[in-house]
Structure 1
Amino acid sequence: MGTVNPAVESARRWSYAVLVLLTLAAGAMDAIAFLGLGGVFTANMTGNLILVALVGGEDWQARALRAGLACVIFCAGLLAGFAMPGSGRGGGRRPSAVTHLIWADLALQLVFLAAWTLCGATPGPVLTLVLIAVASCAMGLQVAAARRINIAGITTAFVTGTLTSLVESSVSRGSTDLARRAVIVTALVTGALCSSLLLHLAPAWAGALPPVFLLLALVTIASRLRDLA
């Protein structure tokens, strides 16, 4: 059995820590969107595609509009993220495309936070659409960053694939894969739980959670780069 390259294992741990923080941010943002922006998602596009197709029920036309807008803008964010040049994993001493994408994601999240706070966490119909667009674009950039990190069997904004890999790992793979995937699934739920609690207890502060998780991700990346210097 071959030995694991310490540098490769260190890079994998760094990448995984960033993915956990991105997953927390995605869960937090989706909870805000679903509970505060008309019952849509800004990261989980599978749910939105179903919402677009659900004809009938109260206010279904507006719901379909919001879900469709989220899908379109999310794809625009993905396109911009995948088009950004630069190394994917950030293994060198200089910031990678992953870092730049998370910074762009953070900038959009701060715009969202400012608007969310100024409207007292109760946006009107037009501002709701604007906030959905801003958050969906941010999530598209974030998913593009996570894909560039690229740890097999782990996704951040939608964890059906990760949940599938988790169950598969319980049957055929090692305990390390199983634990890492379980943490990712738990992180999405934890992020959503924290946001939903804040929406009930201090609604204006709920929008601050995703930027906090993104800042922690950037600190993690900066620490990695400092170790390589």
Structure 2
Amino acid sequence: MASTPVLHRLRSKPDHLHLGLMLALTFSTGVADAVGYLGLDKVFTGNMTGNVVILGMAIAGADDLPVVGPLIALFTFMVGAAIGGRVLRHVKFGWTTEATALFGAVGVIMAALAIILFVVGGKPPAPFDLFVTGFLAAVMGLQAAVARHIAVKDVTTVVVTSTITGFAADSRFGGAKNQPWFRRLAAIVLILAGAGVGALLLMVHIGWGIALTAAITLTVTAIGHAAGRPHHAPAPVA
């Protein structure tokens, strides 16, 4: 099947395409983290640094901070990342069929969780909220592992601390020039915007934030599979 002009244009600049797709997932991570922190008892589903800090303060006796939720999120995030690492261990870097399958699994699981949240009518009661937290963190770990394998510099999709560090250290004030400021600033702004959108959607229903992350992930998966993988023209028929 001949590729459309749009697909041909996207395939002509795979680095730009991969950057755009990972930035879209960075936005969806902001949405998911807002849902986890505001809707699931102060637990981050993508930002594990935040969970480690929350856990440390909770163990020290700080009031109204959870222990079980962050522990579950940390464990399941690592399980998801380990699964991604195992599948992609001997696969070449960049977008591959394996990346499509794993991102697709992330999107489908998120969609299933959104449906569950709509069916139960809102935030699930304890301990079922921990079930949602665990699965969300697991798929975010899987997403992070695949994004790491696709290897778009400065865009991990789940954290922006190193991105902010690079943005500041490589700025003119930091004595550097010609840094990749667009991708760094875009990642910071998009995760911020995603968190804001997630907080707004929570005012309507907790399921909408997860539904949006699922839609973004599945859209990224479809575009990446169609245009992000290496494509070679078929050999001429003799």
Which of 177, 189, 192 aligns to 2:192? It is 189
Q: Equivalent of 1:222, from 216, 220, 225?
A: 225
> Counterpart of 2:63?
58
Matches within 5 A, 1:1-229: 10-54=13-57, 55-60=60-65, 63-85=66-88, 86-90=91-95, 95-171=96-172, 172-174=176-178, 177-224=180-227, 228=231
The amino acid across from 1:206 in the alignment is G
Q: Is the contact between residue 115 and residue 207 of structure 2 (CA under 8 Å) also seen in structure 1?
A: no
Amino acid corresponding to residue 16 of structure 2 in structure 1: R
% identical aligned pairs? 25
List per-residue Cα deviations over 1:5-63 (Å, max 9, x = no partner): x9998121011011111101111100000011001101000110111111324344xx1
CA distance in 1, matches of 2:104, 2:10: 25
Inter-CA distance 119–8: structure 2 relative to 1 (3 Å threshold): closer
For 1:7 and 1:27, the matched residues in 2 are separated by 26
Matched residue of 1:97: which SS?
helix
Q: Which runs of 5+ in 2 are unaligned?
A: 1-8, 233-238
Amino acid of the structure 1 residue aligned with 2:193: T
| TM-score, normalization by structure 1 | 0.87
Instruction: Give the superposition deviation at 1:202.
Output: 4.0
Q: How many residues are aligned here?
A: 217
What SS does the corresponding residue of 1:121 show, helix, strand or coil?
Answer: coil
Give the structure with the higher percent helix.
1
Larger radius of gyration: 2
Cα 1:209–1:183 shift into 2, 3 Å: same
Conserved 8 A contact 1:154-1:161? no
CA gap of 1:202–1:123, structure 2 versus 1, over 3 A, is: closer
SS at match of 1:182: helix
Instruction: Give me the whole-angstrom Cα distance separating, in 2, the residues matched to 1:129 and 1:47.
Output: 17
Deviation track 1:58-84 (CA, whole Å, cap 9, x = no partner) reads 344xx1111011001100011000110
Structure 1: any 5+ residue segments left out of the alignment? 1-5
In structure 2, the CA distance between the partners of 1:67 and 1:227, relative to structure 1 (3 Å rule), is closer
User: Contact conserved, 1:33 with 1:42, CA < 8 A, in 2?
Assistant: yes
Q: Is the 8 A contact 2:97 2:229 kept in 1?
A: no
Alpha-carbon distance change, 199 to 15 in structure 1, aligned in 2, over 3 angstroms: same
Distance 1:109 1:180 in 2: 26
